[in-house]
Amino acid sequence: MANFAGINAAQGTIRLPNGTQVALSEWHHTDRWSRVYLQHRTHPRAFSYIAGQPVPGAATRADITDTNMHLSGAMAPTEAFLIDGVRVDIAVEADVDADIDTALHSVTLELVVSSRPMFTARLLHVLDVRRFPVPIHIGGSERFAVAFSHDLPPGMNVDVMTTLSGQHKRVCR
């Protein structure tokens, strides 16, 4: 059993006998998700809203089935996230006689962290999963979003659920 010189539960730290202060933290696997609706000439950003705010591209307010973000477009100052992959689930509603596959292949997503593009991909399927060889780090209060560009015809509505998976860490300071 370790010999602790002091525990500060309010700050979540332990002071070791040699004077070193250690912050307690724990990494665990988690997903962050966000829904947007793509329509002709709209370019919504996933992860840009929280429950109770409008879902981008829709006339509804978000609930837990739309997003699990706690801050609009950012992690809390005491959080970090290592993203190791992205999953995109698509459902299409078409009021027009359009080539849905061609329209969906026009959809491109871009993961942006602190105004820097970190990952860009053209969607290939209605369920598209991409794994990153090197995780992408999002630190506390760092702004991020997944931006969508596309060339959808009028009358086509696309429900897009984006899930970022990886390791989440909450640090007690």
Residue 163 pLDDT > 50, yes or no?
yes
**Phi-psi sector, 132: left (phi>0), alpha (psi -120 to 50), beta:** beta
Mean local confidence (pLDDT), 1-29: 66
Question: Going along 116-155, which residue ranges are E strands?
Answer: 116-122, 127-138, 144-149
For 96, which DSSP code?
S
* Boundaries of every domain in the chain: 26-171
Cα distances (angstroms) measured from residue 34 to each of 65, 110, 142, 144: 9, 14, 17, 12
What are the tens digits of pLDDT across the range 62-116?
Answer: 999 999 999 999 988 888 898 999 999 998 887 666 677 778 888 999 999 999 9
* Domain 26-171, CATH among 1.10.20, 3.40.50, 2.60.120, 3.10.20: 2.60.120
Closest C-alpha among 48, 68, 64, 75 to residue 136? 75
Q: Which pTM value belongs to this model?
A: 0.81
DSSP β-ladder status, 13-15 and 21-23:
antiparallel
